[in-house]
A and B are shown apart, each in its own frame.
Chain A
Amino acid sequence: MSAAGIAAQFTELALAVLLAPLLTGWVNQCRAWLQNKSAPGILQPYRVLAKLFQKEVILAHNASSLFRSAPYLIFGSLALSAAIVPTLGTDLPLNEAADAIALVGLLALARLFIALAGMDVGTAFGTLGARREMMVGFLAEPALLMVFFTASLISHSTSLSTIVETIAHRELVIYPSMAFAGVAFVMVSLAENARIPIDNPATHLELTMIHEAMVLEYSGRHLALIEWAASLKLFVYMCIGLALFFPFGIAGGGDWLGLVLALPALAAKLAVGGAALALIEMLSAKMRIFRAPEFLGTAFLLAVLAMLVHVMLEG
């Protein structure tokens, strides 16, 4: 626990919370470019958030305290998970308390609360969205865990920092298992972040919504927090992907210079990641809901395969 580590921790948290909407704006910008449209600008999500914070909150008369507190809980757990993922440095004070499994748990906590909030008011769409969200989560979580386990098998630890350090500082070795795990992780991220091909973030057709259906009843600052949390979730998933598969540039413990250099490295990697996401979204078509289990089943399969390949080829 060095001073550099504490600085890294706070910077990471601040960066995540402040820059997540920028990442979302960048993805939308790239998508617009690819589709030959003009985007509303990179800073648009900030403007949306600002607008929503100023608006009045309208609650249904049967909304419970869960409904009112859920946005804060969701935002809180996602911010905490952003703090755990090593994006800038590996020597984080929260290391001892949190590892990959805890991270999955925090993400599951966020999912739990948004699903409960969706069902809280008792509308049909809310329940519909909540059911679908839980189905996607039920299938995606084991896949995500398997991806983490593959990385853990390679680095002999489930602590994210150890994983990053092992993979970043080994000599260049080609790990086929990580290749499979990478593909599986991309598929899981697409599903969890409500992106095409599982869900369309821009849709307003009720029968095709998952995420949007659950937050239909929210307004004002609650909605702002939830939208912010959704951008944060995308940021977190991207950072997990970068930490597991492209950890070059993340500073080691107590390294101030490395910390400073890690900032532009992170920015560059996130930019590329955002563009790649836009490309994937543009090239795929949205799947029908009953195909989602197949998609996620394939992701789970690839992750298990990654583990088997690791045991067979690299064990």
Chain B
Amino acid sequence: MPIELFALLLSPLAGGAVLALIGHRPRAAEVNAVFSSLTFAAAAVLVARVIESGPLVALGEQLFVDSLNVFLVALTAFVAMTTSFFSRPYMRIEREHRRVTGPGMRLYHSMYQLFSFTMLLVLTTNNLGVMWVAMEAATLTTVLLVALYRTHASLEAAWKYFILCGVGIAQALFGTILVYFAAEKVLGPGTGSLLWTHLDAVKTELQPTVMSIAFVFLLVGYGTKVGLVPLHNWLPDAHAEGPTPISAVLSGLLLNVALYALIRCKVITDGALERPFASALLMGFGLISVVVAAFFLSRQRDVKRMFAYSSIEHMGLITFAFGMGGPVASFAGLLHMTVHSLTKSAIFFTAGHAAQQTGTQLMENIRGLAQVNPTAGWGLMLGTVAILGMPPFGVFASEFLILTTTIAVQPWAAPVLLLSLGVSFAAIFGKVQPLVFGEPTAARLPHPPALVPVFTHLALVLMLGLFIPPSLADWYRQAARLIG
């Protein structure tokens, strides 16, 4: 009986229920943080268990944890916890600025916990159908949060988010139905045919035509949630308009979770088809996303929108790496998922803080952050430097690995990648520099911001850049082997 697995899932669910009642009270933010910490504690124990005794199955094979998703579970729980710490003072200031009301805070806190629940469910479920349901539920929980501020822009962003992701995810449901269709012939009808472990065992016997069509639908569906171009239209708006903690978890966590769903489906498809169909598609979409995002980046004037495009670019890079396949590229992809999560959420924390101080998200109106609030300003600078792939941060290590593999395996793509990365480097660096230095336009804030999470994240990224602990490296290698 894996208690920690159940605790992992029940804690945020209970948190959502409790906060639905008391979410507007003064102590609600602390309760939120407590529940997230409990979730993380459960995740840590689960990680220890899986490292020690290998993959585990629970609840009549409905839940499944192996090396691929356990590290994502740990990452998700960790970032959710640090974000809840950050959200405490941040949302208090937002409330005092009258941008959120009492009932809004209730919604915010309870949905935050439910969102964690749905994400963890996507990661730990063995049933492809339940994975879909949880993915859609994750969208539903965040839709109202993106519209929390009730402004024109946020309503528009939330509407687009809902409609585009909803349509996309419906395609993924069709893909899931097709997978069930193919599985039914080999495994017979019933729940067993949707379980990933069963499908993995018989993947070579699945009908290739059906699986290839199913994968296309799944790619369109889950790819919309990952933010692959051309299905990315909702992403910059949704990530820019919601409250900052939500932007952080959307960018840092939900994209990873969607990509995880896609990877699980890719493993099955690769087994069913002889030719590298799925890999080619992933590489194509990943590459297009990197290029398009890099060029759109340079036109942005809103700081959060700019970093949202940066998320699209990085997710494209990870997708490209997983498309290439092989031990090095998959390892690099997994590493990049980790460091991107940590860095991007840290950046959003500082950028959101900057926006709070100056009252605007337009970069031309934010200046001299380092002077008014040195920790925030330098945090943003370091985060930007990290995400741009400068050594010795972790992003450099993963990008380096990806690029070297590209040169070896797909040499034509290397100059394209380098060019795009260069363009985004110039764009972001050029825009963030005047933000941090220069004559200050920011005001003092009534409460001190919580910037410990920012520096924790950045420290982790630095550590991963300099030295990856052997157990972690081994863990990544195991997961990479699973991806193929």
A–B touching in complex (CB under 8 Å):
no
Which chain B residues have a beta carbon within 8 Å of chain A's beta carbons?
none
Residues in chain A within 8 A of chain B (CB atoms): none
